[in-house]
Chains A and B, each alone.
Chain A
């Protein structure tokens, strides 16, 4: 199989995850981001290490493409394609644990939410937390792969995942806590 066919097969295989991640990074501009990312990945495919997984590799490219797009538009170098305001994040590692989990999923299980309701609640998470929850719980990537994609330490990934999952459970138990579409709309993804 030549590299062109190999690349096309991989893109078709992961098209839904790619589109989904483009929606996470640039909801209103997802289609353009998808196209530009595929074109950029095509140019770089000869450098792709076949011992690695294709999905995190092209996700990393997509995130970098989005950073470049925002940089061009804003003239403000940023490493956060979601425009999320930086805040102090707890330092977490397997050796420095977080506090105990505040929300057991029992209540959620008893409420018999549908999968689509859970999916919708994930869409309402703050952008950076949503990104990590999507990459882990929907795309099934490892902590290390996610850390590579978002250029952050594994501890930061664990922290965001922890906060994202707990906030998700808050939304499911108390839907009123969920921010509305309008609030999500001002997430300032730069577009």
Chain B
């Protein structure tokens, strides 16, 4: 090995990244070349003086607190999901026993019912988790300070399904912004609104994902209650919609003018 080659391998040598064969060749060269050996010594001294003492920038205390909060929320979400899975297993076991008792056709119907409820529940839990993160600014908007129409165009260029944002039919409703997010690993449009000063999140999901919920057509609006939030799920214009709020029927202002007479939302089909 000549000096030029030896110098070119100095960094990987000091980094401990040379193969044993190359390392042996280099060390054989260093044993007989004082100039290269001095370069290695200087490089090692440079590492010991500076590089080994470099540390990553510490996370400031507010960032640490945010992470603690996030991890706690993520943990709660997983525990809730685990409880759901345990509940699902229990219900499926009961259903299986029922299958034996009343026959195959009744069993199939029950399994379908159980499966639908569980999937709907998982969507509702995920939507509430996302809503909380949006409200707490843990998930920043991709687009804000624009009209719903501008935001709609923005999403249509980025998502491969029909994203149709409701018009603002009352001054009590304000569009805050939106982002592309994920609900149960499905890419969705996540929209933030305020109704009478209350935060409301609207998630628009692909129709395929909505179909996989296997929901019945009626009632049109499915309502689930989770951790004090009302989650309303429906289908419209080739997409699924999931609305999360704490204001009950007032959230209907998202799509309807105040003067419209509407039937009250159905009572929650599940409290999770």
Chain A: residues with CB nearer than 8 A to chain B?
4, 7-8, 11-12, 15-21, 23, 29, 31-32, 34-36, 38-39, 42-43, 69, 72-73, 75, 94, 97-101, 104-106, 108-109, 113, 115, 118-119, 122, 134, 136-139, 142-143, 158, 161-162, 165
Contacts and interface: CB of A to CB of B under 8 A. Distances in A.
B71 A32 contact: no
Interface in B1-56: 3-5, 7-12, 15, 17-19, 22, 39, 42-43, 45-46, 49-51, 53-56
Interface string B166-206: 00000000000001100001000000000000000000000
Given A15-B67, A118-B50, A162 B11 contact: yes
Given A118-B54, A143-B12, A165-B11, A97 B71 contact: no
A23 B56 CA distance: 10
Nearest to B72: A8
Interface of B: 3-5, 7-12, 15, 17-19, 22, 39, 42-43, 45-46, 49-51, 53-59, 63-64, 66-67, 70-71, 74-75, 78-79, 133, 138-140, 142, 157-158, 179-180, 185
B74 A39 contact: yes
Contacts of B180: 72
A162 B17 CA distance: 13
Contacts of A39: 70, 74, 133, 138-139
A8 B53 CA distance: 27
Contacts of A18: 59
A106 to B, nearest CB: 5
Nearest to A69: B142
A138 B74 contact: no
Nearest to A102: B7
The 10 closest A-B pairs by CB, nearest first: A97-B8, A20-B56, A105-B46, A19-B59, A100-B7, A118-B50, A16-B56, A32-B140, A20-B57, A42-B74
Contact of B46 (A35, A108, A143): A108
Given A17-B56, A115-B53, A118-B50, 12 more contacts: A4-B75, A15-B59, A19-B56, A20-B56, A32-B139, A99-B8, A101-B10, A105-B43, A136-B15, A138-B56, A143-B15, A158-B11
Contacts of B142: 69, 72-73
Nearest to B140: A32
Nearest to B180: A72
A109 B59 contact: no
B8 A98 contact: yes
B56 A139 contact: yes
Contacts of B18: 94
A115 B50 contact: yes
B260 to A, nearest CB: 35
A161 to B, nearest CB: 7
Contact of A75 (B17, B49, B158): B158
Contacts of A108: 46, 50
